[in-house]
């Protein structure tokens, strides 16, 4: 199936394209989802 796992950007405009895409975001304070992540307790060994 067609698709692009990687998009390669080179040449003199590369830096400019990178800056344009990254600057299109919204400035936010550091993201915190508030989620707590923990490992499952291992099953008891009999």
Partner 1 sequence: MIGLYKSSGSYHAEHISDLSHRTLLNRFNVKLDTQKKVLGLQKIIQEHLFDAENEGYRTYLVYDEHGENAGIFSLRTGAMIFDVEPSDGESFHEIISALELSVFAVNNSYAEKYPDKKYIGKDFFYDCIVPILSSVYEQVGCSVIYLFAINNPALISYYMDELDFLELPPEEERVILDNLGSYKNDECKFLYRHLSTVVL
Residues that bind partner 1 (CB under 8 A): 1-18, 20-22, 24-26, 28, 31-33, 35
Query: 23 vs 42, which CB is nearer to partner 1?
Result: 23
As given in the structure block, the two tokens for residue 8 are: 């390669």
In the complex, least distance from residue 41 CB atom to partner 1, rounded to whole angstroms: 22
- Give the shortest CB-4-to-partner 1 separation in angstroms: 6
Using the CB atoms, write b or e for 2-24: b if 16+ within 10 Å.
eeeeeeeeeeeeeeeeeeeeeee
Q: Which one, of 28, 29, 9, lies nearest residue 19 by Cα? A: 9
Shortest spacing between CB 40 and partner 1, in angstroms: 18
């Amino acid at each position: 199936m067609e698709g692009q796992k990687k998009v390669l950007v080179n040449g003199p405009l590369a830096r400019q394209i990178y800056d344009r895409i990254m600057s299109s975001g919204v400035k936010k304070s550091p993201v915190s989802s508030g989620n707590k992540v923990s490992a499952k307790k291992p099953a008891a060994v009999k």
